[in-house]
Chain A
Amino acid sequence: MDKKIEEIEEEIVDEFSFFESWQDKYEYIIELGKKLKGYPEDKQTGEYKVKGCQSSVWLVTDEADGRITFKADSDSTIVKGLIALLIRVLNNRTPDEILNAKLDFIGKTGLQQHLAQTRANGLAAMIKQMKMYALAYKAKQQI
């Protein structure tokens, strides 16, 4: 069985605790961003765009056996790295798991303080969009 959301979050918090400076933490996020691939090019359109301020984010979802998978892209490598973290936590989960996820790792890693206060990176918008998709799938399942 896959790891629980909280377990993966704990792993991420651990990984971030190895880095002493924010520069190192961001270098790690940039590495994750560079590795995030596989977003379908034909879906880099307004329809899949998450509203942000200074970066464009595209997000598509798929569903199989009641579980949701995400693919995403951004013109910002750092934002891509953040999405990679979110996807690592929320991918292949049921709508309820996604909706109930508290995503404490964002606070515990310090990313909250560093990023979430500014609308520039669109982190909050991304989480909202992922949860909206989960809600939509949940509604569909209940019909």
Chain B
Amino acid sequence: MQDILTKKIFDVDEVRKDFPILSREVDGKPLVYFDNAATSQKPQSVINAISDYYSNYNANIHRGVYSISIKASEAYENAKIKVKEFINASSEREIIFTRGTTEAINLITYSYGLENVNEGDEIIISEMEHHANIVPWQVLCEKKKAALKVIPVNDSGELLIDEYKKLLSDKTKIVAIGHISNSLGTINPVKEIIRLAKEKSKDIAVVVDGAQAIHHTKVDVKDIGADFYVFSSHKMYGPMGIGVLYGRSELLEAMPPYQTGGDMISTVSFKGTTYNDIPMKFEAGTPNVEGAVGLTAAIDYINCIGFEAIHKQETELLEYATAQLNEINGLRIIGTAKKKTGVISFVVEGLNALDIGIMLDTNGVAVRTGQHCTEPLMDRFGVPGTVRASFAFYNTKEEIDIFVDALKKAIEILK
């Protein structure tokens, strides 16, 4: 831990040593992990924090009167403070731990949505949303006879803000938008999107899906003005199974619980039950303490590397890879927005994405193939699926060289 906290100058070779998995081999070849948009790898400090929790103070939290339970409760509450500071929320009461981004969006639709959306109302999403930010809203619209409106994207994969302005109306109740596209890497102007919604009506709730943004860019929920901001720990070098729902306290206080049971109650009798205050009102049952402890370590790690260094390294990788891929005959990059993160989706004329993915794997290169849970977006670009390489700050130009060589070889074999 100490060695990480004192690291000042970014050195990718040193940073890679923090991630034990990066030194493994696949079929005798070094692992080149380019599926970071699906999940990130974990630094030793995160692995150690989880191991330390189970080795030294595993206990159920809240109401335990003995020392290890008190320590575990402190660690859990400390994680909320850590997240609050990380995203600049007003209070740790605004931080709710969920299973991940998907559960956070479902919580909003079932709690805030069912309460505030009615027949004839409208919800705005975009064409580039992940299924997790489409389907829950679709279900809500069906239940409430509301309408789902979709902001289209241009050929570069950027949102058409003028079209969005036209969609905003007196009927709009919720705008739900991804901060960064998982398939294209496009960085959406969320601050502007929120400002436009609030100019229309301050009662429009804006939900930002930050799953692909939280580890790439400094998120300040107060600065962008989000009502809700959601993300998953596992994309930000933390463990799987825990995510965050940030909500403005006024909204959370007015919302009914999503799930009920232990920990979320104040008093229970057979005549009736009163609920706990936020955030516990939304955290029924034993929470994921291990996840919270791991997430704390992940945030410490990110803070230590710093977003400046992360951004610089990822931008260099993106530019280097884009230039090399553009040299390959018949290869088309899907998603060429002016502002994008280290995600490159592409198709190769006449070739199937799955075939390319399998052949890259035989060279130790891990990429994702298919629709990336964004079927409507694939339809928009007229492709059945893409190969997606997504980078993290611990990736290197040498790895991109291996990837490009393997890709050229795969194309030759498959053609």
Contact = CB atoms under 8 A, between A and B. Distances in A.
A27 B413 CA distance: 7
A23 B354 contact: no
B355 A78 contact: yes
B359 interface: yes
Nearest to B409: A23
A61 interface: no
A78 B384 CA distance: 16
A76 B354 contact: yes
A77 B353 CA distance: 10
Interface in A35-63: 53-56
Contact of B414 (A53, A77, A79, A120): A77
A30 interface: yes
A109 B271 CA distance: 64
Contacts of A55: 352, 354
A121 B27 contact: no
A27 B414 CA distance: 8
A120 to B, nearest CB: 6
A137 interface: no
A19 to B, nearest CB: 11
Contact of B355 (A22, A23, A77): A77
B385 interface: yes
A23 B359 contact: yes
Contact of A23 (B362, B369, B384, B414): B362
A54 B362 contact: no
A47 B352 CA distance: 22
Contacts, number: 46
Contacts of A141: none
B369 A26 contact: no
B352 A23 contact: no
B358 interface: yes
A79 B357 CA distance: 13
A120 B352 CA distance: 12
Contacts of B370: 53-54, 120
B363 interface: yes
Given A23-B362, A75-B384, A120-B370, A30 B414 contact: yes
A100 interface: no
Interface residues of B, number: 17
A110 B363 CA distance: 17
B413 A79 contact: no
A76 B362 contact: no
B363 A23 contact: yes
Contacts of A56: 384
A22 B27 contact: yes
Given A23-B363, A77-B414, A54 B358 contact: no
A30 B358 CA distance: 11
Given A21-B27, A30-B413, A54-B370, A120 B354 contact: yes
Nearest to B353: A54
A21 B355 contact: no
Contacts of B369: 54, 120
B311 to A, nearest CB: 32
A14 to B, nearest CB: 21
Interface in A53-86: 53-56, 75-79
Interface string B343-369: 000000001111100110011000001
A100 B102 CA distance: 42
Nearest to A23: B362
Nearest to A81: B355
Nearest to B27: A22
Interface string A10-38: 00000000000111001100100000000
Contacts of A22: 27, 362
Interface in A64-118: 75-79
Interface in B373-391: 384-385
User: Which 5 pairs show the lowest CB-CB distances between chains A and B?
Assistant: A23-B362, A76-B352, A54-B370, A54-B354, A22-B362
Given A54-B354, A54-B385, A55-B354, 17 more contacts: A21-B27, A22-B362, A23-B359, A30-B355, A30-B414, A54-B371, A55-B352, A75-B352, A76-B354, A76-B355, A77-B414, A78-B354, A78-B355, A79-B352, A79-B354, A121-B354, A121-B358
Interface of A: 21-23, 26-27, 30, 53-56, 75-79, 120-121
17 contacts: A22-B27, A22-B362, A26-B413, A27-B413, A30-B355, A54-B353, A54-B385, A55-B352, A56-B384, A75-B352, A75-B384, A76-B352, A76-B354, A77-B355, A78-B355, A79-B355, A120-B370
Interface of B: 27, 351-355, 358-359, 362-363, 369-371, 384-385, 413-414
